[in-house]
Structure 1
Amino acid sequence: MEYRTLPHGGDRISTIGIGAGSLRESTSQEIKDIIDYGMENGINLIDTVMYDSSAAEPIAQALKGRQDEMNMQVHLGAVYPSGIYSRTRVLSKIKSGFEKELKKYGADYADIGIIHCVDEVNDFEKIMSDGLFDYARKLKQEGTIRYLGFSSHSPDICRLFIETGEVDIFMFSLNAAYDFEPSRGKLALSHERMELYRECEKRGIGITVMKPYGGGQLLNAKTSPFGRSMTIPQCIQYALDRPAVLSCLPGVRSRADLEDVLKYYSASGEERDYSFIGSLPHRDMQGTCIYCNHCQPCPSGIDIGAVNKYLDLEKAGDELAKDHYMKLSKNANDCTECGVCEENCPFHVDVRSRMKEARNCFEK
Structure 2
Amino acid sequence: MEYRELGSTGIKVSEIAFGAEFLVERPYDDTEELIKACEKAGINFVDCWMSEPDVRSHLGKAIKPNRENWVIQGHIGATWQNNQYVRTREMDKVIPAFEDFMERFQIDTLDFGMIHYVDQIEDYNEIMEGPFIEYVRKLKEEGTIAHIGLSTHNPDIGLLAAKNPEIELLMFSINPAYDMFGSMPDIEEYRKDDAYDGEMFGLNPVRAEIYELCEKNGTALTVMKGFAGGNLLADETSPFGVALTPIQCIHYCLEQKGVDSIFVGVKTVDELEESLKYCNATEAEKDYAEILKNAPKHSFEGQCTYCGHCAPCTSEIDIAMVTKLFDLAKNHDEVPASIQEHYNNLKFNATDCIACGDCEPRCPFSVHIVDVMLDAQDLFGF
TM-score, normalised to structure 1's length? 0.74
**Corresponding pairs, count:** 283
Name the structure 2 match of 1:45. 45
Matches within 5 A, 1:173-188: 173-180=173-180, 187-188=201-202
- 1:7 is displaced (CA, Å) by 3.0
- 1:30 is displaced (CA, Å) by 2.1
* CA contact 2:4–2:260 (8 Å) conserved in 1: yes
Name the structure 1 match of 2:297. 284
* CA contact 1:187–1:279 (8 Å) conserved in 2: no
* CA contact 1:233–1:263 (8 Å) conserved in 2: yes
Name the structure 1 match of 2:252. 238
Name the structure 2 match of 1:126. 126
Change (3 A) 1:142 1:7: same
Counterpart Cα distance in 2 of 1:34 and 1:82: 29
Rg (Cα) greater in structure: 2
Gaps of at least 5 residues in structure 1 are: 287-364
* CA contact 1:30–1:255 (8 Å) conserved in 2: no
Matches within 5 A, 1:1-364: 1-24=1-24, 26-50=26-50, 52-180=52-180, 187-280=201-294, 284-285=297-298
Match of 2:202, SS? strand
* CA contact 2:233–2:245 (8 Å) conserved in 1: yes
- 1:25 is displaced (CA, Å) by 6.0
Name the structure 1 match of 2:192. none
- 1:37 is displaced (CA, Å) by 1.1
Name the structure 2 match of 1:351. none
Counterpart Cα distance in 2 of 1:267 and 1:26: 31
Change (3 A) 1:164 1:285: closer
Match of 2:241, SS? coil
The one-letter code matched in structure 2 to 1:173 is S
Match of 1:37, SS? helix
Same amino acid, percent of matched pairs: 37
* CA contact 1:186–1:280 (8 Å) conserved in 2: no
Counterpart Cα distance in 1 of 2:268 and 2:297: 34
- 1:285 is displaced (CA, Å) by 4.2
Match of 1:161, SS? helix
The one-letter code matched in structure 2 to 1:273 is D
Match of 1:218, SS? helix
CA displacement 1:92-124 (0-9 Å, x = unmatched): 211111111000110111101110000111101
The one-letter code matched in structure 1 to 2:98 is F
Counterpart Cα distance in 2 of 1:33 and 1:251: 15
Match of 2:264, SS? coil
Counterpart Cα distance in 1 of 2:54 and 2:96: 19
